[in-house]
Chain A
Amino acid sequence: MTTKPILTVHDLSVVFPDSNGGLHVLENISFEVCPREFICFLGPSGSGKTTLLRVLAGLLAPTSGNVHFIRRQHPKIGMVFQQSNLMPWRTVMDNIKLPLELEGVSDAKARVKAQEMIELVGLDGFEDSWPRDLSGGMAQRVGIARALVHDPDLLLLDEPFGSLDAITRERMWTELSRIWQAKQKTVIMVTHSINESLFLADRVLVLTQRPGKVKFDLEVDIPRPRKDDIRYTPHFGKLARKLRETIE
């Protein structure tokens, strides 16, 4: 892609203070993200993937280096967290419209928008359910709907399908692909799954063991829309093998 990047990350490092010289979690991470690009980060547990997303979301200041958004200084962020974190005192509907509420959108408008999202993630009929009555997968989908509802510039997904069974998970890939294509969002997603990253992403960045560095940057040149069965094509297999080799 030759479009101008929307986000550049330059020489980013994160060190958490500890008793012996600091815990180096991320080291000299640099990458660029183009508008509407779908990027996946793959990496072993503890390599700092969540930490990276927290820095991008502005929840954590990096120890050194910088994150630069081209269009505006504070982009609108939609984030799906690794653990589902719905507010237990809000219904599905009220959880989803929270970001709009905080922006001061009128209640009527917010409801219409949230209802759209509810349909998008297939939760019609559960508008008034409490989070305690949802399955793990449903809660995750509420989280995804909430991250999309305020039309963010950048979508950050931290293993959003981690708690789903294999079949639901693969259905969600198709769903997310569809949502991404319909909404034309820039997405940065963290995952453990090679298949997931190849199915969804334009580019896959592989992080090393802690301290996390970008070890490999793979362009996923599989044409879209990607159907379920692309996983059985030789090209997909070749890319998957490449990724597997770098991860080990």
Chain B
Amino acid sequence: MKTSFSRWLGLISVLLGIIAWELIVRVTDLPRFILPSPVDVWVRFLKSLADGSLLLHTGYTLLEITLGLFFGVISATIIGYFLAKSRSLEKILSPYLVASQAVPIVAIAPLLILWFGSGITSKVLICSLIVFFPVLVNTVVGVRAVPPVLYDLMRSVRATRWQILFKLELPASLPVLLGGLRIGATLSVIGAIVGELVDAKNGLGFLLKVGDFQYDTAMVFVAVFMLITLALMLYGIVTLLEKRFLRWQQPAS
């Protein structure tokens, strides 16, 4: 009884929030281009859905995010692995890594767009960059935390390098790796938007800018909600991966 009620709590809270929003709009009577009502946003949502523009731009942003995540995660994992293994490589690369982290992505986004154009390449690059560091750090931490006794075990049965990688290092560091992916997934949404806000002809960031420019504030709201949806979706996927691959960590129910 209690559990079935608490399951609805989240939904109830969202509904209350929307009602409060509607009330504020009615009480304050602000112009629509300052604060549209939930109904306005819903109508705008349906309209942009009907003319196909919303799906097009969402798809575009999703593509940037996915590609950015893919390249960012792959490169960070590979480099992180070698970094974890070699102290001297760590010394050589660490000034660049620290510097790359010190520069805010917003500051170099215009530069990347200048170099790589306003198309998808620059956005994917920005996403990869923003994802890179947290995934790299988690990879290093994860690989270094593999228990030495398990290396002993693998070596005592004469495991090859690849076997050690796939049967020990990968599964042992998976919890931390997925933790990095979780952070990276959220960051890549930010990366894509930052890029699109600087200069783009497609994507939710572009939609945001156009909406803002034309005082179509309802459109801005629609775009923001789509972004939230994308971020939650990615987060959900990582959670599913954790459920699937980290069953051994969860307490027995």
Which residues of A are at the interface with B, using a C-beta cutoff of 8 A?
54, 57-59, 74, 76-79, 81, 83, 85, 87-90, 98-99, 101-102, 130-133, 150, 156
Contacts and interface: CB of A to CB of B under 8 A. Distances in A.
Contact of B147 (A76, A85, A150): A85
B213 interface: no
Contacts of A101: 167
B150 A58 contact: no
A172 B116 CA distance: 69
Nearest to B157: A99
Contacts of A133: 252
A74 B248 contact: no
B29 interface: no
Interface string B156-172: 11111001000110011
A90 B150 CA distance: 13
B152 A85 contact: yes
A160 to B, nearest CB: 14
B248 A102 contact: no
Contacts of A78: 157
Contact of A130 (B150, B158, B160, B248): B248
Given A102-B160, A133-B252, 7 more contacts: A57-B155, A58-B156, A59-B152, A79-B152, A85-B150, A89-B174, A102-B167
B156 A77 contact: yes
A86 to B, nearest CB: 9
Contacts of B248: 88-90, 130-132
14 contacts: A57-B152, A58-B155, A77-B156, A78-B157, A79-B152, A79-B153, A81-B149, A85-B152, A87-B150, A87-B172, A89-B174, A102-B157, A102-B167, A132-B248
A77 B149 contact: no
A87 B159 contact: no
For the complex of A and B, the 10 pairs showing the least CB-CB separation, nearest first, are: A85-B149, A79-B156, A89-B248, A99-B157, A57-B156, A89-B171, A130-B248, A102-B159, A77-B156, A102-B163
Given A81-B149, A88-B248, A89-B171, A102 B155 contact: no
Given A87-B171, A89-B172, A132-B248, A81 B157 contact: no
Contacts of A131: 248
A130 B153 CA distance: 18
Contacts of B159: 102
A144 to B, nearest CB: 13
Interface in B42-61: none
Contact of A59 (B156, B167, B171): B156
A23 B149 CA distance: 21
B157 A85 contact: no
A102 B147 CA distance: 19
Contacts of B150: 85, 87
B235 to A, nearest CB: 23
A26 B150 CA distance: 24
B252 A150 contact: no
B152 A81 contact: yes
A83 B148 CA distance: 12
A54 B148 CA distance: 13
Given A58-B156, A89-B248, A132-B248, A98 B149 contact: no
